[in-house]
Structure 1
Amino acid sequence: MDIFLLLAPLIVLEAILVIVALLAWFKTDKTNGPRWLWLFIILLLQIIGPILFFIIGRRQQ
């Protein structure tokens, strides 16, 4: 049970990060690379995927 108490904040933070990244992905028309690939990166790479999307995935206009 102690391990859950240590991991709970990290799990909540990761869930919020994924939700915000998915909302940004949905609103972004153009990305650096295929848009569908960024969806898989956000969903499958846990914490690193959404961070990568915000750093290099979104095309600045």
Structure 2
Amino acid sequence: MEELLNEINWAVIAPILIIQAILLTVALVDLVRISKTNGPKWVWLLVILFVNIIGPILYFIFGRRPH
């Protein structure tokens, strides 16, 4: 197990994890604050939480209603 952790290129993985955390946080805050979405909020919550980086992006593209 230690060999695997030593072989991971953290210079590539760390920015991806940071971007994922930021997208997840911003999408969840927006989902809580917005009054209506395209579809049920609970479905968007599941998409945001379980579809990793793509889930929050899908929410921002398809889930939000235009003002």
**TM-score, normalisation: structure 1:** 0.91
Q: What are the residue-to-residue correspondences of 1:9-24 with 2, within 5 Å?
A: 9-24=15-30
Superposition RMSD on alpha carbons, in Å? 1.1
Q: Give the match for residue 34 of structure 2.
A: 28
Unaligned runs of 5+ in 1: none
Unaligned runs of 5+ in 2: 1-5
Q: Give the match for residue 42 of structure 1.
A: 48
Find the structure with the greater CA-based Rg: 2
**TM-score, normalisation: structure 2:** 0.84
Percent identity (aligned): 48
**Cα deviation 1:8-54 (Å, max 9, x = unaligned):** 11001110110000011011110001110000000000010000000
Q: Give the match for residue 3 of structure 2.
A: none
2:9 partner SS: helix
Count of equivalent residues: 61
